[in-house]
Amino acid sequence: MATENAQQPAAGPRQSVELDSAATLKLLGSVSLGRVVFTQHALPTIRPVNHVLEDGDIIIRTHEGAALTSHTRHAGGEGVVVAYEADTIDPDTHLGWSVVVTGYAHLVTDAAEVARYRAMLRPWMNRTMDYTVRIRPDLVTGIRLTSAPGPDGGHEAS
């Protein structure tokens, strides 16, 4: 049975090159969409969101009733542990990069900050987003997917 969206394998092998924290944050700041990962009913949950990066912190907006809004509203101390992932990987060549940030999410409560972020970050969903969440990175990792060296030491054609 053939599938309608069968993928052709990428040309040549790939290798994963680790990036340092500065490079990963620069890449994260170069895109506006990512995925926030948090726990809901003791299970991992992933939501696509848009973001801005400010002073190394990830800023997203949420709405009343969102699980992440509720979790951050009731979090004490350090906040809620989350992961945030963004990437740009070409679907044909499988070349690109991926960044994962793990840290603590807090609800932003200062009215001036909320207003500033509201002006900076326009949600892509057609929904009122009254809350702002700041993710302070604790662990930042990233990889770049490149063509692997061929048998002669040169890179395979992509």
Q: Which CATH architecture has domain 21-147?
A: Roll (2.30)
So what's the pLDDT on residue 57? 95
Residue 117, pLDDT > 80, answer: yes
Does pTM surpass 0.85?
no
Could you report the per-residue pLDDT of 87-112, keeping only the tens digit for each? Answer: 999 999 999 999 999 999 999 989 99
Which one has a higher pLDDT value, 46 or 40?
46
Q: What is the mean pLDDT of the chain?
A: 85
Report the alpha-carbon angle 103-88-84, nearest 5.
15
So what's the pLDDT on residue 25? 93
Q: Can you tell me the mean pLDDT for 69-89?
A: 85
Token representation of residue 89: 């990987």
Question: Domain limits of the chain?
Answer: 21-147
Name residues whose C-beta falls within 8 Å of residue 83's C-beta, 6 or more positions apart in sequence: 36, 37, 38, 100, 101, 102
Q: How confident is the model at residue 54 (pLDDT cuts 50, 70, 90)?
A: very high
Q: How confident is the model at residue 72 (pLDDT cuts 50, 70, 90)?
A: confident
Q: How confident is the model at residue 115 (pLDDT cuts 50, 70, 90)?
A: very high
**What is the pairing mode between strands 96-107 and 57-62?**
unpaired
Residue 64 DSSP symbol: T
Q: How confident is the model at residue 158 (pLDDT cuts 50, 70, 90)?
A: very low
DSSP-based three-state secondary structure for 2: coil
Q: What are phi and psi of 55, to 5 degrees?
A: 50, 40
